């Protein structure tokens, strides 16, 4: 829906304080100097010291202020040209160039220059500011915003698109002053907002104002109903549309939201946003706001002073709320169009998000209390199919931006590093109850099975997540080799096709102390990953080559569009040149991930129908509590699908994140 707004248009250039130039011979140079001084003065909206003729400079300044009043800080560029004389009249052209809501308005006015009392100056008149402008006229601009473009998902399915809403509020025209407070408080209580605050807002609004209380999706089960509103004097539900996702929580953190521009956003927009404009907040809506918003259509009018008016929305289900007064017929007749440009529609942002899988991920996390995330990637092409952050994330994009110790899922990287040193999944390793490194004692997770202690295979150590077995191999792989293996699986490297903000992991390549290196072997210490990075790692194993994630398909199609901004670890840049995982290495890792399901911690995944499931659980301790808090992780592969599940302060990966992955994979396969 187009957004119409009318406001006074600011006229400007750069002021140079000037003194009239003496020139007895009426030279061309003197005329051009005077015109240049006036053009600079108009630019700064201060002609009080300019070489003005024909009126007092204070009167000219007052008239200029009236012409441009109410139009903020929009200023044009103005340049003066060469003087010419015809029939005794000397003139200098003034060229204007405006930037109005992204549209350019160019025109030229003519300054009459003369010499009076030995000094050169410019005769003041309104048409010096805009072509044909007369005394008593001011400039006004009417902007028409195009409908905001959609964010599209896989197959160009609309994710965020214009959907019907109801703007619920009080129209003061239809409620007496003696009932206003009671009506405002009744409506506030009905829609669940602060009654005191809304009552004060209603009292402070103008006598004919519509005071909005809340905006609701227009659904069959909308509450409050029209009947409930009808019982409150002055309450109305106005029909409108807004760019919305299918549900309030659908991909909210990754997609972002759309609303009316705040004062802060308007101030930072350099004139691109005005009051009432829709703009993005967070996620893709904010990152691609310029592309989605398009450009306003602009009409510049010469109007009788005091004739501008603002349109109002239309009510449904009852009498119409009041609107601002319109211009009188005589005022309307005096209106002239000086410039007009059509609105330019925005361009949709195309993404790889699968609507069904995104909704499934959101639903799977809907009852999880702590911060949580599910990221699903298609290994064959790197498409991000779902990126959900649970309600405990409080709007933060945990799925793509979270930075957490990965715990035992990082043993996938350890295993690749060991394979590159000649190990195989059958390599015998020692799993002991504890292992001490430089005075620090490491132990296995609570509940580790006693029958898998002692001499076991690397595969078995991975399947049951024996911490001490992997730490015991620390001397076989350096920290730099760990970092190189991490980048071979897509961690800590650039993601040029992602098209969104994301954290791809951090694995320091610098030499660490023995204790820090031991901690790295079990995904702790300084190792950090996001759920996105974990899903990339699993996808790279499943594909048998490095997977570079992609979310926004427009990236690379238009140089003006934002580039990807996935964040690699600065310490991992050296490792970025390492060789990618090979098919043979990936086959060994796939074998080990399958063992997690068939004989290890994740036997619950055997119930998932279809292709064999591979997995790796992870529990990462953090903080100083005793016992320490833990992050719960699990990664899984299922055919052409790789998934990471994360729960902050979640306990064990197998018991907390495991059921969430089982639910997701089972329903995804249906």
pLDDT band at 555 (very low <50, low <70, confident <90, very high): low
Candidate from 222-226, 492-496, 566-570 with smallest mean pLDDT: 566-570
Is a pLDDT exceeding 80 seen at residue 248?
yes
pLDDT in tens, 371-383: 999 999 999 999 9
What homologous superfamily does CATH list for 355-668? DD-peptidase/beta-lactamase superfamily (3.40.710.10)
Q: What is the mean pLDDT of residues 446-457?
A: 91
Q: How far is CA 359 from CA 153, 364, 365, 480, in A?
A: 12, 8, 10, 40
pLDDT number for residue 535:
98
Q: Residue holding tokens 């220059």? A: 113
Task: Using alpha carbons, select from 583, 588, 585 the residue that is nearest to residue 614.
Answer: 588
pLDDT in tens, 340-366: 999 999 999 999 999 999 999 999 999
Cis previous bond, 224, omega within 30: yes
Longest dimension (CA), the chain: 111
pLDDT band at 575 (very low <50, low <70, confident <90, very high): very low
Q: What percent of the chain has pLDDT over 70?
A: 87
Q: What is the mean pLDDT of residues 75-100?
A: 90
pLDDT in tens, 500-535: 999 999 999 986 799 999 999 999 999 999 999 999
Q: Taking the domains of the chain in order of start, what are their residue ranges? A: 7-135, 151-297+306-341, 355-668
Is a pLDDT exceeding 70 seen at residue 110?
yes
Give the span between the Cα atoms of 475 and 311, in whole angstroms. Answer: 74
Does domain 7-135 fall under CATH 3.10.450? My reply is: yes
Task: Using alpha carbons, select from 552, 534, 540 the residue that is nearest to residue 496.
Answer: 552
Give the span between the Cα atoms of 524 and 538, in whole angstroms. Answer: 18
pLDDT in tens, 544-553: 999 999 999 9
Is a pLDDT exceeding 90 seen at residue 308?
no
Residue 638 belongs to what H/E stretch? strand 629-638
Task: Using alpha carbons, select from 123, 92, 87, 121 the residue that is nearest to residue 109.
Answer: 92
Is a pLDDT exceeding 90 seen at residue 474?
yes
Task: Using alpha carbons, select from 416, 429, 524 the residue that is nearest to residue 470.
Answer: 429
Instruction: Say if CB 126 and CB 47 are below 8 A apart.
Output: no
| Average pLDDT value for the chain | 87
pLDDT number for residue 558:
42
| DSSP conformational letter for 40 | H
pLDDT number for residue 75:
79
Is a pLDDT exceeding 90 seen at residue 153?
yes
pLDDT band at 160 (very low <50, low <70, confident <90, very high): very high
H-type alpha helices, 420-530: 458-464, 467-471, 479-488, 514-520
pLDDT number for residue 577:
52
Does domain 151-297+306-341 fall under CATH 3.90.1310? My reply is: yes
Which residues touch 545 (CB under 8 Å, ≥6 apart)? 580, 581, 582, 583, 586
Is a pLDDT exceeding 90 seen at residue 572?
no
Is a pLDDT exceeding 80 seen at residue 606?
yes
Task: Using alpha carbons, select from 58, 40, 44 the residue that is nearest to residue 10.
Answer: 44
- Residue 325: phi and psi, rounded to 5, are -65, 140
pLDDT in tens, 167-194: 999 999 999 999 999 999 999 999 999 9
Query: Considering the entire predicted model, what is its pTM?
Result: 0.82
Whether the domain at 151-297+306-341 and the domain at 355-668 fall into the same CATH topology? no
pLDDT band at 27 (very low <50, low <70, confident <90, very high): confident
Is a pLDDT exceeding 90 seen at residue 263?
no
């Amino acid at each position: 829906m187009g957004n119409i707004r009318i406001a006074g248009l600011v006229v400007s250039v750069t002021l140079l304080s000037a003194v009239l130039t003496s020139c007895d011979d009426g030279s061309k140079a003197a005329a051009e100097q005077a015109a240049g001084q006036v053009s600079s003065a108009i630019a700064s909206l201060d002609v009080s010291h300019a070489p003005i003729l024909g009126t007092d400079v204070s009167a000219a300044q007052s008239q200029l202020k009236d012409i441009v009043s109410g139009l903020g800080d929009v200023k044009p560029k103005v340049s003066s040209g060469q003087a010419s004389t015809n029939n005794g009249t000397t003139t200098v052209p003034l060229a204007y160039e405006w930037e109005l809501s992204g549209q350019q308005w160019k025109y030229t006015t003519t300054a009459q220059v003369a010499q009076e009392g030995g000094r050169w100056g410019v005769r003041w008149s309104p048409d010096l500011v805009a072509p044909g402008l007369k005394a008593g006229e001011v400039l006004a601009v009417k902007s028409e915003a195009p409908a905001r473009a959609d964010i599209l998902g896989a197959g160009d399915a609309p994710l965020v698109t214009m959907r019907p809403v109801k703007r619920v509020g009080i129209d003061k025209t239809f409620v007496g002053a003696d009932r206003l407070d009671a009506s405002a408080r009744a409506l506030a209580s009905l829609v669940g907002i602060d009654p005191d605050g809304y009552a004060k807002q209603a009292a402070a609004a103008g006598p004919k104002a519509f005071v909005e209380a809340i905006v609701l999706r227009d659904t069959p089960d909308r509450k409050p109903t029209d009947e409930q509103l009808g019982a409150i004097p002055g309450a109305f539900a106005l029909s409108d549309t807004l760019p919305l996702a299918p549900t309030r929580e659908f991909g909210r953190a990754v997609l972002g939201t759309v609303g009316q521009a705040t004062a802060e956003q308007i101030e930072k927009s350099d004139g691109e946003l005005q009051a009432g404009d829709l703009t993005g907040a967070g996620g893709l809506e904010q990152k691609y706001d310029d592309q989605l918003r398009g450009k306003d259509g602009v009409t510049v009018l010469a109007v009788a002073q005091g004739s501008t008016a603002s349109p109002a929305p239309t009510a449904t289900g009852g009498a119409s709320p009041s609107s601002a007064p319109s211009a009188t017929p005589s005022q309307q007749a005096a209106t002239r169009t000086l410039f007009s440009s059509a609105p330019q529609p925005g361009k949709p942002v195309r993404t790889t998000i699968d609507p069904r899988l995104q909704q499934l991920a959101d639903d799977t996390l809907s009852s999880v209390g702590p911060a949580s995330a599910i990221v699903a990637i298609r290994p064959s092409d790197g498409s991000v199919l779902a990126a959900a952050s649970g309600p405990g994330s409080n709007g933060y994009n945990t799925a793509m931006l979270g930075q957490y110790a990965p715990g035992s899922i990082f043993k996938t990287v350890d295993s690749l590093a060991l394979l590159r040193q000649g190990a195989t999944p059958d390599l015998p390793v020692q799993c002991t109850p504890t292992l001490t490194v430089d005075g620090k004692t490491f132990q296995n997770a609570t509940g580790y099975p006693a029958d898998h202690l002692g001499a076991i295979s690397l595969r078995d150590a991975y399947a049951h997540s024996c911490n001490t077995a992997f730490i015991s191999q620390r001397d076989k792989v350096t920290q730099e080799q760990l970092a190189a293996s991490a980048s071979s699986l897509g961690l800590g490297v650039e993601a040029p096709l992602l098209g969104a903000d994301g954290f791809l992991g951090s694995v320091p390549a610098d030499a660490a102390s023995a204790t820090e290196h031991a901690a790295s072997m079990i995904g702790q210490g300084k190792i950090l990953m996001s759920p996105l990075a974990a899903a990339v790692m699993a996808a790279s194993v499943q594909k048998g080559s490095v997977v570079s994630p992609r979310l926004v398909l427009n990236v690379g199609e238009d140089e003006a569009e934002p580039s990807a901004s996935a964040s690699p670890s600065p310490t991992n840049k050296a490792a970025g040149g390492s060789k990618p995982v090979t098919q043979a290495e990936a086959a060994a890792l796939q074998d080990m991930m399958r063992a997690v399901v068939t004989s290890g911690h994740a036997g619950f995944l055997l119930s998932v129908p279809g292709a064999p499931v591979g997995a790796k659980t992870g529990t990462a301790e953090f903080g100083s509590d005793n016992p320490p808090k833990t992050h719960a992780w699990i990664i899984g592969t299922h055919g052409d699908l790789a998934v990471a599940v994360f729960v902050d302060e979640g306990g064990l990966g197998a018991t907390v994140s495991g059921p969430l992955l089982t639910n997701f994979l089972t329903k995804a396969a249906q």
